[in-house]
Amino acid sequence: VSGITVEEVFDVMFLNPKDITSVPTAIHSINDEYLQGAASYKEKMMSILDLEKIFVKGELLVNEIV
């Protein structure tokens, strides 16, 4: 059993798998291995996390306020 703590949920939406694209080069980083892809959201692009990889590897620490 595992989980992720969040402070607030802003929106919930259905995402069709055909709408997921590869990670754009503009948002590439050293942690790309934790991303499944990207999808548009309200005129912006959102990154889609690979939660299975995050839980299995367990080496990623996110402590960032956006």
Cα–Cα distance measured from residue 7 to residue 46, given in angstroms and rounded to the nearest whole number: 18
CA distance 34 to 8: 21
pLDDT tens digits in sequence order for the chain, 66 residues long = 667 788 899 889 898 989 888 877 766 666 677 888 889 888 888 888 888 887 777 665 666 665
DSSP reduced 3-state for 49? strand
pLDDT of residue 26: 67
Claim: this prediction has a pTM higher than 0.85: no
